[in-house]
Each structure stands twice: as C-alpha cells, then as structure tokens.
Amino acid sequence: MPDSVKAAAPTEPPVVQMTDISITFPGVKALDGVDFRMFPGEVHSLMGENGAGKSTLIKALTGVYSVDSGVIRLGGEQVTFAGPAQAQAAGLEVVNVYAFGHDYAETLKRWRERFLAQREAVLQGGFDERFMRIWEFYLAYCEAAFMENNIDVLQVTLQKRA
C-alpha cells in the first residue's frame, strides 16, 4: 500500500478502548465481542441497520447498560460504571444525540455532490485519495440506506471533562 494512503500510527494511547464487549437482552445478543477504540482527535461514525447495536455500544460506554463481558478503558485505566452518574463523575458524558431519518437522504445527496465538486480543493488541502473514496462511499451508502428506511445514524458527542 502506498505511504500516501496509510493512516498515521497513533502517538498516544487510546482515550477510549472497548474490548470484546458483549451484551445480551432477553432473547437477543445485542453486542457480541465488539471492539472499539478512539485516539485523541479522532472522529468516528457508528452506522448500521436499526437494531445493529450502535446506541447499545454508547450506552455501555456511558454506564447506561452494564456489559456481560469485555473490558472498557478510559485513558488506559479499566473502568466499570454502575450507572450514568458514575460515568459522568469520571468525566464521560453524552452531550448531544441526534437521530436522522428518511428525509435526511436528500441532504446527504447534496453533500455528496458538493463534496465531489470540491475534489481538487480537498486533495490540495492535504487529504488523499483514500480519504476521498471513504467519504464518497460513506455518503452514498447512507443516502441509499435512508431512502430504503433500513438504517439510522446516531450522532453522539462524548465529552471527557478534565
């Protein structure tokens, strides 16, 4: 793989690391061995079909749900929260939650068209072809999925207080 499309190696440990997280509700395995990590300055998008476990993962991180198995680390230290108040006391809380529905498809279509129209400017801004392909795919995938009403995107802002 050319160096221009390789992600830079993280220089700091993850601020959030969830390893082998499993949660079962009566009759349903909501999460099964899920791994998730975030490094300083990263932005992630959790997307998938309704019931895929996006909000369950965030609720596990913020103490709303306890995990059946797996490990959660904040800043390298293992944590277990008995509820959201403990997560907030540790400085981790959900600040904003937005759910997008079917009408969002048209917005995504316009964003994708504008993004592709600005291709040269984006590349000149220091982003590479891999970035372009990932974002084009992401926007097209979400647009199509919203049109079919089989996906939602949960946008969550997590804030870790000092």
Give the global pTM.
0.63
Its domain, for residue 119, covers 3-160
Question: Averaged over 124-152, what is the pLDDT?
Answer: 78
How many domains are there within the chain?
1
Side chain identity at residue 147, one-letter code: M
pLDDT in tens, 48-64: 777 788 889 988 998 99
Residue 20 pLDDT greater than 90, yes or no:
yes
3-state secondary structure of 141: helix
Distances (CA, A) of 148 to 96, 131, 139, 142: 26, 26, 14, 10
- Its sign, for the CA torsion 68, 74, 78, 79, is negative
- How far apart CA 70 and CA 22 sit, in angstroms, is 6
Side chain identity at residue 10, one-letter code: P
